[in-house]
Structure 1
Amino acid sequence: MLNLHHLNSFLVLEQTGSFTDTAARLGLGQSTVTQHIQRLEKSLGRQLVSRDTHHVRLTTEGEALLGYARGMLDLNSKVSSLFGESRLRGRLRLGVSEDVVASRLTGILEDFIRLHPLVDLELTVALSAVLNQMQDAGDLDLVLAKRHVGETHGRLLYREPLVWLARDPERMIDRTDALPLIAFPSPSITRRVAQEALDGAGMSWRIVCTCGSLSGLTAAARAGMGVLVQPRSMAPEGLKEITGDRLPTLQDVEFVLISRRGADAALVEALSSLITAQIAPQKQG
């Protein structure tokens, strides 16, 4: 009989690709996570992960186990929810800013639906300012979004620098005309920070591409259309950070959780605790 705790460590390891990050997410010692994987491998008589100094990857046998492991844990969660003393039910309306969805939301949602299968989650993805407006109107129960440094609304998760990104940084900063910007439409925190930084440095700029989707902005930046501003840890693949003093330093942004007054406190706390545990440690690592 496979141990469910060992399977859970295996699934989280697949998500993080790191024994250190898996231990931090689960609140366990790294040696304990290692033991879980070793005992799981011993039970099955197969090597499930391959390790080197930089990466942890699943073997072919490990890939084959993934679906079964998820199914076993999902079934266990459903049984526990149906017959356990504490059963969360209802609907939770979550608003998440576009850049967080692209980089970090999958693991959070996987854990939430496994732990609370009877909760219906309604997800809205939009700019931070739009999410705040929707919550003020009573349309969202919990918002995970950005705010400017110095603002006080919400519960601070962490603070992170914004960076300039481009496919070919040298070509962009050697231009003699206005700096081409790729940006979310207004109101956008990253757009406003970029514009204020360039105006403060006396540099000319123009918006060459506007899109409400980060995937659209990323495609434009990868095509070499211009410069994109994003939190450093959320920089899309295929883009390089523009370093040095050729462009002005950008102000940091802060990521916060904002709960609606009157929302179901148990549901909000259940999801908030997962977000806090999984997002903030990634920034520190």
Structure 2
Amino acid sequence: MSVSEKSNRPLFDLDLLRAVVMVSDCGSFTTAAARLHSTQSTVSQKVRRLEEMVGHKLLERGNRDVLPTDAGQTLLGYARQMLAYNDEMLEAMSGATVAVTVRLGVPEDFAAGRTTHLLSTFNRKHPQVKLEVTSGLCRDLSASYDNGELDLILLKQRRNSREAVACWPEKLQWIDSAKNPAFDQDPVPLVTFPPRGLYRDDMIGAIERMGRRWRISFTSSSLSGLQAAVANGMGISLLPLRAVTAEHLQLTSAHGLPSIDAMEVAIIHRPTADAMVKELAAELARTLASE
């Protein structure tokens, strides 16, 4: 059968099916009409219309009640299923909320721990919200946001680089290997993000102001890669305080290194953002403020 032929086939009216089912269940047109808040003649008309549609007699009046014919029994089975599906759909749609997708971008060092806990809590509170979380370099997250690919971003940036809905100073720490320190090498080996990456220029500038020579010994766009490189003695680095582990030695002003306070953590979304985006941003802000 062609698509056009299928599209021209008649569709069953649930109102007619309900009338036949009710008469069969009640065994009486009169009782069925009362339960349907209708008249007996209207219910009879609906049954006749359905019989004309299928080309079979569906109900037979007996001595005491009304019974379905063989064709009626077949139709009743399908009719009950269709009516049940209709009721299920009504129940589902009555409590349904239009699904919302929130596209969040976070730096790698925020992609786990308290952030993951916050996101799971938010998802349980709003099961209709689909969270799409992307982690990566801040410059890439910023570009994706500007291209409309992200709704909300958590960025590490130079202070006041771009307008944010909330921001906090980013605490940075100079680190070396606890087992195989590299700071006393000449030139000083540096473990950094790629060119234009965060903290790279600050590191180089600080070493040069100390009058020390330097070399790039390891570069990676992965925070965990930088952490491991420092821990294994490949060089020193400047990373967020939260990224320091027991395998690292914290370098201080006693080593001649200055504190770096030019960075901030910022939460950014558009003024026209969805209410769920703004709520998630507020939750992130509360979590960061408590750290």
Aligned-residue RMSD, C-alpha: 2.6
Matched, 1:230 2:201: no
Deviations 1:223-252 (A, max 9, x none): 111112112233234212112332421422
Deviations along 1:28-55, one digit per CA (max 9) or x if unpaired, are xxxxxxxxxxxxxxxxxxxxxxxxxxxx
* Structure 1 residue matching 2:182: 3-state secondary structure: helix
Name the amino acid aligned to 2:214: W
Alignment match, 1:163 = 173
- Compared CA separation, residues 94 and 110, structure 1 to 2 (3 A): same
Question: TM-score, normalising length from structure 1?
Answer: 0.63
Map of 1:132 onto structure 2:
142
Q: Counterpart in 2 of 1:270?
A: 279
Match of 1:117 in 2: 127
Structure 1 residue 146: Cα displacement:
0.7
- With normalisation by structure 2, the TM-score equals 0.61
Report SS of the residue matched to 1:172: coil
Is the 1:185–1:211 contact (alpha carbons within 8 Å) kept by the matching residues of 2? Answer: yes
Structure 2 match to 1:181: 190
Q: How is 1:69-218 mapped onto 2 (pairs within 5 angstroms)?
A: 89-168=99-178, 171-175=181-185, 177-218=186-227
Q: Distance in 1 between matches of 2:150 and 2:181?
A: 43
Report the 3-state secondary structure (helix = DSSP H, G, I; strand = E; otherwise coil) of the residue aligned with 1:245: helix
Runs of 4 or more consecutive aligned structure 1 residues displaced over 6 Å after TM superposition: 82-86
Counterpart-to-counterpart distance in 2, 1:250 and 1:86: 53
Q: Which has the larger radius of gyration?
A: 2
| Paired residues of 2:105 and 2:135 also in contact (CA < 8 A) | yes
Distance 2:268 2:259 in 1: 24
Distance 1:173 1:116, change over 3 A: same
Q: What is the letter of the counterpart of residue 154 of structure 1? A: A
Shift of 1:272: 0.7
Distance across 1 between alignment mates of 2:278 and 2:270: 12
- The 1-side partners of 2:243 and 2:114 are apart by 9
Aligned residues: 199
Q: Deviations over 1:126-145 (max 9, x none)?
A: 11122111111111110001
State whether residues 157 and 255 of structure 1, in contact with CA within 8 Å, keep that contact through their aligned partners in structure 2: yes
Is 2:248 aligned against 1:220? no
Q: Which 10-residue stretch deviates more, 273-282 or 194-203?
A: 194-203
Aligned partners of 2:199, 2:264: CA distance in 1, in Å?
11
Task: Provide the residue aligned with 2:75 in structure 1.
Answer: none
Contact 2:177 2:233 in 1 (8 A): yes
| Structure 1 residue ranges without an equivalent (≥5) | 1-81
Q: CA deviation at 1:84?
A: 11
The amino acid that maps onto 1:220 is A
| Aligned twin of 2:289 | 280
Show structure 2 runs of 5+ residues with no match. 1-91
Mark the CA change 1:137 to 1:152 in structure 2 (over 3 Å): closer, same or farther.
closer
- Structure 1 residues 150, 91: closer, same or farther in 2, change over 3 A? closer
Determine helix, strand or coil for the equivalent of 1:173.
coil
Q: Please state whether the residue corresponding to 1:92 is helix, strand or coil.
A: strand
Percent identical pairs in the alignment equals 33
Moved more, 124-133 or 153-162: 153-162
How many Å separate the matches in 2 of 1:229 and 1:89?
42
Secondary structure of the corresponding residue to residue 254 of structure 2 = coil
TM-superposed CA distance for 1:280, in Å, is 1.5
